[in-house]
């Protein structure tokens, strides 16, 4: 995906009009479409906090430099550089840091520094009352899926699934094009740019067109939320999932969890991001099904489009996605795209 | 009260199948020898033990389902011992036909991946099954130990009276309730599905193996956030063995973290109970009433 394609206008994408639309606009989920926080303007303050894993204070320097280069001001939370085991401070410290960012009216967006593990340990202790009155963008992915799901389900506010502290290169001169594009996708999304990603077609895709609110995130984290207050309602929505470092059999078990909890039944569309699998310790124990087999057997009998190899996940090409915002997914033989539906 | 399948008599037939991962026949040979020669049962071996599968599974979903279905429907088979777990029961559970089994319940024996079947039976049919050692536990003279011995004893209809040493993190007290539980990863995985389970006023037991501490912590919190730790009669934490840690250590053991997660409740909690992926794995009957006593120096679990 080059920069030109990245900025392809929605009108050319909508030209792929001969495919069936799976979810007509009137059949949206009973959930109200989430509220969209105000987009950012130059001079706005972005808070950086880590509700999950530990990182060194220096780890955030490239991020801070880039955010400032874009014209934002940065407030670095006390959890950056703090450490308690593998966490960025004790539960109390991480909770207090994100709480102060949520409650501070000056802070217009909260940039989660790192995933790892830990958000679930504090999510239900967070007081969301001020955020509810004055929503702001929350950014991150992986373990931050906990926050995306919680606010989608319980607050009804959109949030940004995006790269975190590793989004920006340490050496600003050594900029890989994909890294530049993914970083730029964060700026675009935060400042009100319309999401519009053309994607390379994949041979195992299931074609069709879907419209619906976009939800999703890290598959293992989504599985760990089932039965909780943050459990996603996927009806009439476009669901995206990604994961890393799991055994194939474990991925299969997680997709069974999605299916058996009814989350694959009434989807508008399914977007499969990057899945970098962990090899079995014993090569003789080969699973016998690949990721595509695993997904397609779970959605057999359903008619919605399925898009593989979407650029989201624990990888370089991990573009910013607006969770809780209506999108249109087009999966054609030659054109595949995900576009924000205005 | 929960329906318990008939206990076994000498000469009864035990079926052996692999509903999940592959197992070579030789690895179950000692188990088969002990069941027949030492314990006096007959054994009927299914096609999925040491089958022709070349991948992870002991057979295709259809083959594993068919093998288990034959054993479930055969009234001559009085119990089914799963040779091993691994992964695969969740792929076939919704396709199993339990009609004949409901009429003629039999003991289904296993743990780990078999946890799905245990909670499924408990929730949907209210029939007891046995969380117990599988075929590999018999190897290397394992069949002489008291844990494999507890399986023989349970199958014969004896009431269990287990005890273990007190652990520093234990919370003392006593609780009575139906016993439910199994492998933590599987318990988390079935939440929200048709195999989900109730824990209210019950004794919950969990164990796991080979997980990262953070991952076990996340799964335990899932149980908590799904409301499954709220009104327990008691909580039994079995072995969390071969645990892995991240490059930057989690900073606590999984036992310490679990202890913190349950500090707001007042039921008895015991750590290090012999239910695990090691030899130390007592046979436990799912859904049957037990009394858990967590004392200052000793823990007992009695049927």
d(CA B136, CA B27): 7
Joined tokens for residue B209? 């193996």
Amino acid A24: pLDDT: 41
Amino acid A9: pLDDT: 36
Rounded to an integer, the average pLDDT of B65-77 is 98
Which is nearest to B128 in space by CA: B65, B196, B79? B79
* Alpha carbon separation from B294 to A16, A143, A307, B266, B302 (Å, rounded): 67, 36, 53, 12, 12
Rounded to an integer, the average pLDDT of B268-285 is 98
Q: Does B2 touch chain A (CB under 8 A)?
A: no
Q: Do A120 and B221 touch (CB under 8 A)?
A: yes
Residue A218: strand pairing partners: A242
- Is A119 annotated as catalytic? no
Q: Which of B58, B112, B215, B276 is catalytic?
A: B112
Number of other residues whose CB lies within 10 A of the CB of residue B158:
12
What stretch of H or E contains B182? strand B173-183
Q: Do B90 and A256 touch (CB under 8 A)?
A: yes
d(CA A291, CA A313): 15
Q: Does B94 touch chain A (CB under 8 A)?
A: yes
Residue B136 has pLDDT above 80, yes or no: yes
State pTM to two decimals: 0.86
d(CA A158, CA B138): 55
Is residue B181 within 8 A of residue B204, CB to CB? The reply is yes
Smallest Cβ–Cβ distance between B248 and the set A54, A257, A286 belongs to A54
Is residue A48 within 8 A of residue A111, CB to CB? The reply is yes
The DSSP output letter for B34 is I
What stretch of H or E contains B29? helix B25-33
Give the range among A41-45, A55-59, B253-257, B278-282 with minimum mean pLDDT. Answer: A55-59
Q: Does B189 touch chain A (CB under 8 A)?
A: yes
Q: Cα torsion at B50, B53, B55, B57 (round to 10°)? A: -60
Give the range among A17-21, A184-188, B128-132, B149-153 with minimum mean pLDDT. Answer: A17-21
Which regions in chain A score pLDDT beneath 50?
1-29
Is residue B8 within 8 A of residue B78, CB to CB? The reply is yes
Amino acid A30: pLDDT: 52
3-state secondary structure of B175: strand
Q: Cα torsion at B88, B94, B96, B98 (round to 10°)? A: 130
Amino acid A31: pLDDT: 63
- Residue A151's contacts (CB-CB under 8 Å, 6 or more residues apart) are A128, A131, A138, A157, A159, A324
- Is A314 annotated as catalytic? yes
Is residue A102 within 8 A of residue A155, CB to CB? The reply is no
Q: Collect all residues of chain B within an 8 Å Cβ-Cβ radius of residue A117.
A: 214-215, 217-218, 246
Supply angle C-alpha A229, A261, B102, rounded to 5.
125
Count contacts between A and B (CB, < 8 Å): 104
Sorting pLDDT into bands at 50, 70 and 90, what band is B38?
Answer: very high
d(CA B134, CA B16): 10
Q: Do A260 and B194 touch (CB under 8 A)?
A: yes
The ipTM assigned to this model is: 0.78
Q: Which of A142, A162, A185, A337 is catalytic?
A: A142
Amino acid A281: pLDDT: 81
Rounded to an integer, the average pLDDT of B81-104 is 97
Which residue is closest to A87 within chain B, CA to CA?
Answer: B250
Joined tokens for residue A84? 């308690």
d(CA B204, CA B236): 6
Residue B123 has pLDDT above 60, yes or no: yes
Q: Does B193 touch chain A (CB under 8 A)?
A: yes
Which is nearest to A269 in space by CA: A294, A306, A232, A216? A306
Is residue A55 within 8 A of residue A114, CB to CB? The reply is yes
Rounded to an integer, the average pLDDT of B180-209 is 98
Residue B229 has pLDDT above 60, yes or no: yes
3-state secondary structure chain A: CCHHHHCCCHHHHCCCCCCCECCCHHHCCCCCCCECCCCCCCCCEEEEECCCECCCHHHHHHHHHHHHHCCCEEEECCCCCCCECCECCCHHHHHHHHHHHHHCCCEEEEEECCCCCCHHHCHHHCCCHHHHHCCCEEEECHHHHHHHHHHHHHCCECEEECCCHHHCCCCCCCCCHHHHHHHHHHHHHHCCCCCEEEECCCCCCECEEEEEEEEEEEHHHHHHHCCCCCCCCCCCCEEEEEEEEECHHHHHHHHHHHHHCCCCCCCCEEEEEEEEECCCCCHHHCCCCCHHHHHHHHCCCCCCCEECCCCCCCCCCCCCEEECCEEEEEECCCCEEEEECC
Q: Collect all residues of chain A within an 8 Å Cβ-Cβ radius of residue B194.
A: 260
3-state secondary structure of B129: coil
Amino acid B101: pLDDT: 98
- Is B128 annotated as catalytic? no
- % residues pLDDT > 70 (chain B): 100
Q: Collect all residues of chain A within an 8 Å Cβ-Cβ radius of residue B221.
A: 120-121, 224
Is residue B79 within 8 A of residue B8, CB to CB? The reply is yes
Which of B124, B185, B225, B229 to mutate against chain A (most A CBs within 10 Å)? B225
Q: Collect all residues of chain A within an 8 Å Cβ-Cβ radius of residue B20.
A: none
Is residue B283 within 8 A of residue B153, CB to CB? The reply is yes
Amino acid A32: pLDDT: 75
Amino acid A175: pLDDT: 73
Which residue is closest to B86 within chain A, CA to CA?
Answer: A249
Q: Collect all residues of chain A within an 8 Å Cβ-Cβ radius of residue B246.
A: 86, 116-117
Joined tokens for residue B16? 């052996």
- Residue B83's contacts (CB-CB under 8 Å, 6 or more residues apart) are B16, B17, B18, B23, B27, B28, B31, B49, B134, B135
Amino acid A54: pLDDT: 95
d(CA B168, CA B179): 23
In the block, tokens 């209809």 appear at B157
d(CA B89, CA B186): 10
* Alpha carbon separation from A322 to A1, A214, A240 (Å, rounded): 19, 7, 11
Joined tokens for residue A287? 């699973």
């Amino acid at each position: 995906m080059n920069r030109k394609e990245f900025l392809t206008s929605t009108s050319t994408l909508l030209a792929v009009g001969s495919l069936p639309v799976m979810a007509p606009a009137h059949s949206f989920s009973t959930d109200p479409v989430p509220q969209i926080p105000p987009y950012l303007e130059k001079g706005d303050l972005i808070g950086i906090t880590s509700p999950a894993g530990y990182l060194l204070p220096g780890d955030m320097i490239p991020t801070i430099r880039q955010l400032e280069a874009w014209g934002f001001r940065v407030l670095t939370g006390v959890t950056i550089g703090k450490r308690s085991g593998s966490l960025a401070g004790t539960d109390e410290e991480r909770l207090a840091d994100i709480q102060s960012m949520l409650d501070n009216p000056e802070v217009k967006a909260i940039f989660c520094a790192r995933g790892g593990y830990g958000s679930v340990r504090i999510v239900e202790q967070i007081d969301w009352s001020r955020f509810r009155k004055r929503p702001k963008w929350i950014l991150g992915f992986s373990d931050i899926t906990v926050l995306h799901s919680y606010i989608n389900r319980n607050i009804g506010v959109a949030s940004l699934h995006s790269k975190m502290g590793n989004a920006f290169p340490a050496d600003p001169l050594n900029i890989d094009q994909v890294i530049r594009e993914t970083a730029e996708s964060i700026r675009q999304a935060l400042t009100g740019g319309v999401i519009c990603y053309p994607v390379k077609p994949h041979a195992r895709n299931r074609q069709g067109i879907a419209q619906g609110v976009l939800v999703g995130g890290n598959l293992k984290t989504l599985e760990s939320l089932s039965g909780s207050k943050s459990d996603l309602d996927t009806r009439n929505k476009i669901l995206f999932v990604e994961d890393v470092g799991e055994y194939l059999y474990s991925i299969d078990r997680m997709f069974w969890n999605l299916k058996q909890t009814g989350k694959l039944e009434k989807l508008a569309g399914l977007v499969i991001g990057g899945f970098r699998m962990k090899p079995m310790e014993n090569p003789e124990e080969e699973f016998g099904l690949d990721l595509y087999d695993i997904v397609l057997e779970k959605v057999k009998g359903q008619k919605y489009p399925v898009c593989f190899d979407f650029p989201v996940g624990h990888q370089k090409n991990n573009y910013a996605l607006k969770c809780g915002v209506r999108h249109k997914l087009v999966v054609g033989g030659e054109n595949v795209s995900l576009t924000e539906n205005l | 009260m929960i329906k318990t399948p008939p206990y076994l008599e000498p000469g009864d037939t035990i079926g052996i199948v692999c509903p999940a991962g592959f197992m070579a026949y030789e690895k179950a040979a000692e188990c088969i020898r002990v069941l027949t020669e030492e314990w006096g049962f007959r054994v009927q071996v299914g096609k999925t033990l040491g089958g022709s599968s070349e991948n992870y599974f002991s057979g295709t979903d259809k083959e594993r389902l068919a093998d288990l279905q034959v054993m479930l429907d055969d009234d001559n088979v009085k119990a089914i011992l799963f040779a091993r777990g691994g992964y695969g029961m969740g792929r076939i559970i919704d396709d199993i036909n339990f009609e004949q089994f409901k009429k003629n319940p039999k003991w289904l024996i296993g743990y780990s991946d078999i946890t799905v079947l245990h909670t499924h039976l408990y929730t949907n049919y209210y029939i007891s099954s046995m969380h117990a050692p599988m075929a590999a536990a018999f190897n290397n003279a394992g069949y002489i130990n008291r844990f494999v011995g507890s399986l023989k004893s349970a199958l014969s209809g004896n009431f269990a009276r287990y005890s273990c040493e007190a652990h520093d993190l234990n919370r003392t007290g006593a609780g009575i309730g139906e016993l439910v539980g199994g492998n933590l990863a599987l318990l988390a995985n079935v939440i929200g599905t048709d195999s989900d389970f109730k824990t209210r006023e019950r004794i919950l037991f969990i164990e796991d193996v080979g997980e990262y501490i953070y991952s076990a912590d996340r799964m335990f919190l899932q149980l908590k956030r799904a409301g499954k730790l709220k009104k327990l009669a008691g909580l039994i934490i079995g072995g969390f063995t071969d645990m892995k840690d991240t490059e930057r250590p989690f900073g606590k053991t999984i036992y310490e973290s679990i202890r913190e997660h349950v500090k707001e409740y007042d039921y008895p909690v015991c750590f290090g109970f012999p239910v695990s992926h090691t030899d130390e794995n007592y046979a436990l009957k799912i859904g049957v009433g037990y009394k858990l006593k967590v004392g200052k120096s000793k823990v007992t679990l009695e049927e």
